[in-house]
Structure 1
Amino acid sequence: MDTIDNLSFTLVTKLTQSVIKNTASILLLLLVFSCQGQTSGNYKRVNLNNSWGFVDENEKVIIPLGIYDFLNPIDEQNMILAKMNGKDGYIDIHQNILIPFEFEDLGVFSDNGLAPAKKNGKSGAINRKGKVIVPFIYDKVNYFYKSGLAIASKDDKFGFVDGKGKEIIPVIYENVDQTMNDKIVLVSKNKKWAFFSNNGEQLTDFKFDQIKQAYIKQNGRDKDTYFKGGLAIAIIGNQVQYLDQNLKEVIPLGKYDFTKSLNKNGFGIVGKNNKFGIINNQGREVVPLEYDTILHPTRYTNILELFILKKNETLKILDENTKVIKENILACTWDKIDSDDYYSNVLLVKDYQNKFGIIDEIGKTIIPFEFEKLLPFDAQETTIAKKNNKYGIINYKNIALIPFENDEIHSNKFSKIYIVKQNDKFKLYNKKGIKIIDFVFEDLQPCFYDQDNKFIVRFKGKYGITDITGKEIIPNEFDEISNWVEYGPEAHFVTKNKKIGMYSRDGIQLIPPIYDEIKYVNNNIIIVSQNKKYGVISISNKNIIPLKYDKIYLDRYKITYENKEPEIYVLKNGIYSQLDKNNKQIRSNISEKEIKEKFEYYFEK
Structure 2
Amino acid sequence: MKKLILTSFLFLIFACQGQTSENYKRISGNNSWGFVDENEKEVIPLGIYEFLNPIDEKNMILAKKNGKDGYIDIHQNILIAFDYDDLGVFTDNGLAPATKDGKSGAINRKGETIIPFVYDEVNYFYKSGLAIVHKNGKYGFVNNQGEEIIPLIYEKVDQSMVDEVVIVSKNKKWAFFANNGEQLTKFQFDKVIDLPISNEKSHYSTYFKGGLAIVYLENKPQLINKNMQVIVPVGKYDYIESLNKNGFGIVAKNNKYGIINNQGQEVIPLEYNKIEHPKRYSNILELFVLEKNGTLQIFDENIKPIKQNILSYTWDKIDLGDYYIDVLLLKNNQNNYGIMTEEGKNVIPFEFEELQAFDGEETTIAKKNGKYGIINFKNQNLVAFENDEITSSKFSETYIVKHQNKFGILDKQGNKIIDFVFEDIQPCYYDENNKFIIKSNGKYGIIDLSGKEIIPTEYDEISNWVEYGPEAHFVSKDNKKGMFSKEGKQLIPIVYDKLNYFTNNLIIVSQNKKYGIIDISNKNVIPLKYDKIYLDWYKIYYENQEPEIYVLKDKIYSQLDKNNKQIRTNIPKNEIKEKFEYYIKE
TM over 0.5: yes
* 1:105-116 map, 5 Å: 105-116=86-97
1:54 aligns with 2:35: yes
Q: CA deviation at 1:61?
A: 2.4
Match of 1:243 in 2: 224
- The superposition leaves residues 210-250 of structure 1 with CA deviations (integer Å, 9 ceiling, x where unpaired) of 22232222353222222222222222333211222222221
Summarize deviations over 1:428-459 as a string: whole Å, max 9, x none. 324xx264733443322222222223222223
Which residue in 1 is equivalent to 2:481? 500
Residue in 2 aligned with 1:459? 440
**How far 1:55 moved relative to its partner?**
2.0
Q: Which residue of 2 aligns with 1:519?
A: 500
Larger RCO: Structure 1 or Structure 2 (Cα < 8 Å, ≥ 6 residues apart)? 1
- Within-5 A mapping of 1:274-293: 274-293=255-274
Q: Which deviations, in whole Å up to 9, do the C-alpha atoms of 1:479-508 show, x marking residues without a partner?
A: 222222222222222222222222222333
Distance 1:320 1:295 in 2: 12
Residue pair 1:25, 1:105 contacting (<8 A) in 2 also? no
Q: Is the counterpart of residue 154 in structure 1 residue 138 in structure 2? A: no
Contact 2:214 2:224 in 1 (8 A): yes
Equivalent residue letter for 1:438: I
CA drift of 1:380 comes to 3.1
Contact 2:398 2:409 in 1 (8 A): no
CA contact (8 A) 1:23 1:140 kept: no
Q: Which residue of 2 aligns with 1:104?
A: 85
Q: How large is the Cα RMSD of the aligned pairs?
A: 2.7
- Deviation at residue 294 of structure 1 after TM alignment: 1.5
Give CA deviations for 1:466-489 in whole Å, capped at 9, x if unaligned.
333334333333222222222222
Shift of 1:136: 2.4
2:524 corresponds to which letter in structure 1?
Answer: N
Structure 2: distance between partners of 1:416 and 1:87: 53
Equivalent in 21, 28, 34 of residue 3 of structure 2: 21
1:314 aligned to 2:299? no
C-alpha spacing 1:577/1:271, structure 2 compared with 1 (3 Å): same
Distance 1:422 1:38 in 2: 54
Of residues 315, 321, 326 in structure 2, which corresponds to 1:334? 315
Does the 8 Å contact 1:37/1:46 carry over to 2?
Answer: no
Q: Is the 8 A contact 2:30 2:47 kept in 1?
A: no
* SS state at 1:493 partner: strand
Partner AA of 1:538 in structure 2 = D
Name the stretch that deviates more: 131-140 or 71-80: 131-140
Deviations 1:265-305 (A, max 9, x none): 11111111121111111111111111112222224313222
Distance 1:583 1:40 in 2: 68
Whole-Å Cα distance in 1 between the matches of residues 19 and 398 of structure 2? 32
Distance 1:63 1:324, change over 3 A: same
Q: How does 1:347-496 map to 2 (within 5 A)?
A: 347-423=328-404, 424-430=406-412, 433=413, 435=415, 437-439=417-419, 440-496=421-477
TM-score, normalised on structure 1? 0.89
The alignment status of 1:542 with 2:527, answered yes or no, reads: no
Identity of aligned residues (%): 67
**Alpha-carbon distance in 2 for matches of 1:393, 1:464:** 27
Pair 1:183-2:170 in alignment? no
Compute the displacement of 1:602 (Å). 4.7
Using the TM superposition, give the Cα deviation of residue 353 of structure 1 relative to its aligned residue in structure 2, in angstroms. 2.1
Equivalent residue, structure 2, for 1:79: 60
Offset, 1:588? 1.9
Contact conserved, 2:18 with 2:55, CA < 8 A, in 1?
A: no
Say whether residues 1:584 and 2:556 are aligned partners. no
Listed one character per residue, the Cα deviations across residues 499-548 of structure 1 (whole Å, up to 9, x for unaligned) are: 22222223333222322323332223222233333322223333222222
Give 1:139 shift. Answer: 3.0
CA distance in 2, matches of 1:53, 1:434: 50
Contact between 2:17 and 2:56, CA under 8 Å: does it hold in 1?
no
Query: 1:140, CA displacement in angstroms?
Result: 2.8
| Cα shift readout 1:549-587 (whole Å, capped 9, x = no counterpart) | 223333322222222232222222222222222222222
8 Å contact kept, 2:18–2:54 = no
Letter in 2 for 1:319: D
CA distance in 1, matches of 2:13, 2:449: 42
Please tell me whether the aligned partners of residues 177 and 186 of structure 1 are also in contact (alpha carbons under 8 angstroms). yes
Q: CA separation of 1:587/1:53 partners in 2, compared to 1, >3 Å: closer, same or farther?
A: same
> How far has the Cα of 1:29 moved from its partner?
7.8
Q: Which moved more, 1:454-463 or 1:73-82?
A: 454-463
SS in 1 for 2:574: helix
Correspondence list, 1:259-278, <5 A: 259-278=240-259
Confirm or deny: 8 A CA contact 2:557 2:572 kept in the other structure. Answer: yes
Q: Contact 1:333–1:347 at 8 Å: present in 2 too?
A: yes
**Distance (Å, rounded) in 2 between the aligned partners of 1:190 and 1:309:** 40
- Following superposition, the deviation at residue 598 of structure 1 comes to 2.6
Amino acid paired to 1:118: T
Instruction: Tell me the residue number matched to 1:10.
Output: none
Identify if the C-alpha distance between structure 1 residues 340 and 581 changes in structure 2 by more than 3 Å, giving closer, same or farther.
Answer: same
Shift of 1:95: 1.7
Q: Residue 206 of structure 1 corresponds to which residue in structure 2?
A: 187
TM-score, normalisation: structure 2? 0.91
The 1:391–1:189 alpha-carbon spacing in structure 2 relative to 1, beyond 3 Å, is same
Which of residues 56, 59, 64 in structure 1 aligns to 2:45?
64
Q: CA deviation at 1:73?
A: 1.8
Output the CA distance in 1 between the equivalents of 2:236 and 2:339: 37
Q: Supply the distance in 2 between the matched residues of 1:168 and 1:513 (Cα, whole angstroms).
A: 86
**Aligned residue type for 2:4:** N
Secondary structure (helix, strand or coil) at the match of 1:570 reads strand
Note if 1:196 corresponds to 2:177.
Answer: yes
Aligned mates of 1:294, 1:121 — CA distance in 2: 51
Task: Classify 1:156/1:548 alpha carbon distance in 2 versus 1 (closer, same or farther; 3 Å).
Answer: farther
Decide whether the 8 Å contact of 1:21 with 1:151 is kept in 2. Answer: no
Contact 2:400 2:407 in 1 (8 A): no
Q: Secondary structure at the match of 1:41?
A: helix
Query: Is 1:168 matched up with 2:149?
Result: yes
Residue number in structure 1 paired with 2:116: 135
Q: 1:472 to 1:200 in 2, by over 3 A?
A: farther
Task: Check conservation: 1:24, 1:106, Cα contact below 8 A.
Answer: no
CA distance in 2, matches of 1:299, 1:63: 41
Distance 1:575 1:237, change over 3 A: farther
Corresponding residue of 1:8: none
Alpha-carbon distance in structure 1 between the residues aligned to 2:483 and 2:139: 66
Asked whether 1:325 is paired with 2:337, we answer: no
Alignment partners' CA distance in 1, 2:228 and 2:510: 78
What one-letter code is carried by the residue in structure 1 that aligns with 2:458?
Answer: E
Name the counterpart of 1:4.
Answer: none
Deviation at 1:37, TM superposition (A): 11
